[in-house]
Chain A
Amino acid sequence: MFSFLKKSAEAAPAPSWGERLKAGLARTRVQIGGLFGGGKIDAALYEELEEALLCADTGVAATQFLLDNLRQQVKKKGLSDSRELKAALREGLATLIAPLERPLLIEGHQPFIIMLAGVNGAGKTTSIGKLAKFFQAQGKSVLLAAGDTFRAAAREQLTIWGERNQVAVITQQGGDPAAVIFDAIQAARARKIDIVLADTAGRLPTQLHLMEEIRKVKRVIAKADASAPHEVLLVLDANTGQNALSQVKSFDDALGLTGLILTKLDGTAKGGVVAAIARERPVPIRFIGIGEGIDDLRPFIAQDFAAALVDSD
């Protein structure tokens, strides 16, 4: 199978290519950076705006939607200055994603059971560590359930987050995620804990059997408490491109999502795919992740997000 190893084809790139691309990148940057200097509104300006949105992972359809909307605004309000255009685009985007700004309220159930799901490496376990801190700061008691029984040292990783937060982590030697979480719910009830945060293993929606497995986890949670889970969160990596939308759809179809967490916004990725999510599968974004530390969790504010996206260079 690995017979290719014998070949030593070092495919050299065309020498001019790297240079061309670098020039291309610089071009984009300059264009977007110098975009709103206060000049005239013309076709070139719209094209530059389109590029800014596309480069932020907004996607072809959502970008088109935002620009069509912008053109209407220009007509209706008689905008003539490129700076006004910027404000209008930011407004348009903010309006589009505003429905996603719906904070998570912990009420009506004790324990309040929160289940996290997502693809591999998105930031589920880290987000649980941050959420534990967040909820404890509000005076709530928290318990963690180590439902990732697949990945090497996933349990140890969560255990360390438990120690950092000084909260209990329910783990099991064996391999059944549903059973661990079921146990954790029983323990939380016995200990009168306010919130259970259930970690799960990362999975890609193409792995239908693993999607079936996580559906079972949800069913078993409902066996422990018929009203649970009270929140089903999908964790999304802001670096993800258009696949993020299909992740939302697949996990929503499988589990009925109640919220999203968008992680890794401390990097250069803008998470513009949120605009597409707002149009096609508007699941509220409960939190954003802005670092690897325990405090690096923030509520999602549509206005801020829109500003970061449109002001980006």
Chain B
Amino acid sequence: MLDNLTNRLSRVIKTLRGEARLTESNVADALREVRMALLEADVALPVVRDFIAAVKQKAMGEEVIGSLTPGQALVGVVQRELSALMGGENAALNLAVTPPAVILMAGLQGSGKTTTSGKLAKFLAEQKKKPLLASCDVYRPAAIEQLRSIAAQLQIDFFESGSAQKPRDIALAALDYAKKHYHDVLIVDTAGRLAIDAAMMQEITELHAALGPAETLFVVDAMQGQDAVNVAKAFSDALPLTGVVLTKLDGDARGGAALSVRQVTGKPIKFAGVGEKLAALEAFHPERMAARILGMGDVLSLVEEARKSVDVAEAQKLAEKIKKGKGFDLEDFKQQIGQMRKMGGLSSMIDKLPAQLAQAAQAQSADMGEKQMRRIEGIINSMTPQERARPELMKAARKRRVAAGAGVQVQEVNRLLHQFEQMQKMMKQMQKGGMAKMMRGMKGMIPGMR
């Protein structure tokens, strides 16, 4: 596992202590660490280079020299600069035009355009808008069927098209239809295309000209690497983009592409895709993203929140235990569930987390999670300390006793033991992982969460 930037910097910064002021030579090491962290997070090299230059300039300035702890000031400069570059407050869709307002989707193959089209339609319908979905992807097999089926799932109007038609004809007919049927918004999905495919880039330029969209959204995969700058530049040259959607943030990519794309296009990232489900769309939080890119994201913010309500010493003890490969037993399981409850139940805890977990928050009913947690606690409470420490003792007779004690069916005890076993396996798999990773893992273990 890569060190996160905080660790690295604190190491470097120790050597800075006691020096009267920051000089080019004594921040050089720290800046090298920042550069590495950004590159490891997939921020494109030219962007990294300019960023480092900017930080250096700021660090050489008064802010730092006047500060009592130069090391802290440098970390501060890095974080501030990065958040500033990611953009300020999250930006909204701007659909204030004579209806129908058109949203045109663009991006590479597989970046998430079709799914995001569906997510936006759902989101707008919830705002009491009347969206229409149309697909101009006549190339990828079953692409139109994919959007049709998403629309049906959402009960949102779908404009029929076929793969024998021309994309521009579909777009114009859909626009006409939207006007006639008083749709507020027309969302036009397009085929994935490579930035160097001149004919396809020409096609989308023409689609844009025909539709005059209010929003032209560039859909980017959070896992994308260095090439993000080139691709973003080509799309932004071909189309007057109005915003970016960053998808697949539910993964563990650091998402440096966000910074690359933001810099090249100069356009705000308006949404984050945080799951495959159609509800998994979120506002984009620049400051969270900055922290994530630097590798200080999820763990720090979770620990921050957790500190308020959770026994940190307990959590650390557990983390230690797991790190050392010692058994994770039912008592620990219970404690963890208790802690999650103290943090205000699963859903509220997940709200505090960065994007990765929001998918789960959308999918599960908070009530069910809460109730389930209490039942699990009840079952474990009915076990003896020996049983909690050695769950393999739980044979049929003991199971019956515990079930009776907790007032549940034996099947439920079985289910708990099975869940626990899964969890134990998971713990073994991520002995190196932090708390956030652990929590992330739990979402699959708790019933009612996908």
| Interface residues, chain A, with chain B CB atoms under 8 Å away | 1-2, 4-13, 17-18, 20-22, 24-25, 27-28, 51, 54-57, 59-60, 119-123, 129, 150-154, 156-157, 159-161, 202, 204-210, 212, 237, 239-244, 246, 253, 264, 266-270, 273, 292
Q: Provide the bound-state CA to CA distance between A268 and B230, in Å.
A: 8
User: Which B residue sits closest to A246, measured CB to CB?
Assistant: B252
Please state if A17 and B225 are interface contacts (CB–CB under 8 Å): no
Min Cβ gap A180→B in Å is 17
- CB < 8 Å neighbour of A267 from B123, B227, B248: B227
Q: Mark B300-321, 1 if CB is under 8 A from A, else 0.
A: 0000000000000000000000
| Residue ID in chain B nearest A58 by CB atoms | B226
Q: Which residue on chain B has the smallest CB distance to residue A56? A: B226
Assuming A11-B87, A160-B142, A253-B429, is B195 touching A27 (CB within 8 A)? no
Known: A129-B141, A159-B142. 7 other contacts (CB 8 A): A7-B89, A9-B89, A54-B226, A157-B140, A237-B110, A241-B253, A292-B109
Do A205 and B92 have beta carbons less than 8 Å apart?
no
Chain A residues with Cβ below 8 Å from B139 are 292
Tell me if B91 counts as interface (CB < 8 A to partner A).
Answer: yes
User: Sorted from nearest, which 9 A-B pairs have the closest CB atoms?
Assistant: A121-B110, A241-B225, A209-B444, A241-B42, A160-B141, A24-B46, A153-B146, A156-B142, A13-B266
Given A8-B94, A54-B226, answer yes or no on A206-B46 (Cβ-Cβ < 8 Å). Answer: no
Known: A17-B263, A122-B110, A241-B225. A206 touches B92 (CB 8 A): no
Q: A204-B248, A204-B251 are in contact. Are A54 and B283 (CB under 8 A)?
A: no
In the assembled complex, the CB of A202 is this many whole angstroms from the nearest CB of chain B, namely 8
Is the CB of B256 closer than 8 A to any CB of chain A?
yes
Q: How far is the CA of A58 from the CA of B424 in the complex (A)?
A: 35
Which residues in A have their C-beta under 8 angstroms from that of B332?
Answer: none
A267 cross-chain contacts in B, Cβ below 8 A: 108, 194-196, 227, 231
CB of A121 within 8 A of CB of B112, answer yes
16 contacts between A and B (CB under 8 A): A4-B90, A8-B91, A10-B268, A21-B229, A24-B50, A28-B45, A55-B44, A120-B248, A121-B110, A122-B110, A129-B141, A152-B153, A206-B440, A237-B110, A241-B253, A268-B231
Question: Which of chain A's residues have a CB closer than 8 A to the CB of B356?
Answer: 206
B253 touches A243 (CB 8 A): yes
Q: A4-B92, A9-B91 are in contact. Are A240 and B224 (CB under 8 A)?
A: yes
* A212 CA / B108 CA spacing, docked (Å): 29
- The CA of A17 and the CA of B49, in the complex, are separated in Å by 12
Q: Contacts of B194 on A, CB cut-off 8 Å? A: 264, 266-268
